[in-house]
Amino acid sequence: MALRLAIMGGGRIGSAITAGLLEASWCEPPELAVVEIDSARRAELSHEHPGLVVVDTLELAHVDRYTGAVLAVKPDVAEGAARLLGAVGVRRILSVVAGLSTQRIEAVLPDGAAVVRAMPNMPVLVRRGVSAISGGSHVTSDDLDWADGVLGSLGGVVRLAERHLDVVTGLSGSMPGYLFLVVEALIEAGVLQGLPREVAAALVAGTLEGTGALLSASGEPPEVLRAQVTSPGGTTAAGLRALESRAVRSAFIEAVAAATERSRQLGR
């Protein structure tokens, strides 16, 4: 069976893409290879996905020019990994490396190689992620469709010009971290007001999930839904007043700006 895709890196994001593609029947296990240098992680992947090609070098995966590849390694080794892909003939790469531009990846590949840059977020682990993609200088509409198909197995996909991807990183890429901090704070608030921790955790997690589903299903902008739950002089109004008095809105704006700038720094 011919190999359709090689994933460079079997860490969290590489593993999520692997699981998503197999669960969505995008390919059969023997059509997918994961290249991972850590032996323990290779053993875990082989156990989780029987039939999956799990190797420590590209040569053992039998990759050729017809094989697409996902670059899912840390930024400090990404260009070296891309160079290895180019050396074995890969001509189509989807990079999920934060901050690394298509131009830098193209610079270590043979002329004409197609590079699609993407920024998925943590909910791809449960196939509920949102990813943004943009194409490099040699990318065609077919290449973008291919990348869309890969990441579409893990959730929603939007297409943007590459100049926007650092902002996507600062917003949706980093947003799970912001929300987990909010969840932690709300659970602690419930405990301080007398709730058992497990009850507070269940209330907060359930409300967060339900609120997201409501926002998605209603089609209403968030300010409209916020107004609907905020009765004049009521409890929500009192809580929102406390948040606004402490510049919570401004803090989130500054957080996205800081994360965006950090993404730009990683790409320099």
Written as tens digits, the pLDDT of the chain (268 aa) is 678 999 999 998 999 899 989 988 899 999 999 999 999 999 999 999 999 999 998 877 778 777 899 999 998 899 999 999 999 889 999 999 988 999 999 999 999 999 999 999 999 888 899 999 999 999 999 999 999 999 998 999 999 999 999 999 999 999 999 999 999 999 999 999 999 999 999 999 999 999 999 999 999 999 999 999 999 999 999 999 999 999 999 999 999 999 999 998 887 7
**pTM reported for the whole predicted model:** 0.88
Distance CA 155, CA 21 (A): 11
Residue type at 267?
A: G
Give the CATH superfamily of 175-266: ProC C-terminal domain-like (1.10.3730.10)
Structure tokens at 75: 């930024």
How confident is the model at residue 58, as a pLDDT?
81
Q: 144-154: b or e for each residue (b if 16 or more CB lie within 10 Å)?
A: bebbbebbebb
Its CATH class, for the domain covering 5-165, is alpha beta
- The 3-state DSSP composition of the chain as helix, strand, coil percent (nearest 5) reads 55, 15, 30
Give the strands of the sheet with 53-55, arranged side by side: 53-55, 32-35, 5-8, 68-71, 92-95, 114-119, 129-135, 155-159
Distance CA 83, CA 54 (A): 20
Residue type at 153?
A: S
Distance CA 62, CA 66 (A): 11
How confident is the model at residue 1, as a pLDDT?
64
Per-domain boundaries in the chain: 5-165, 175-266
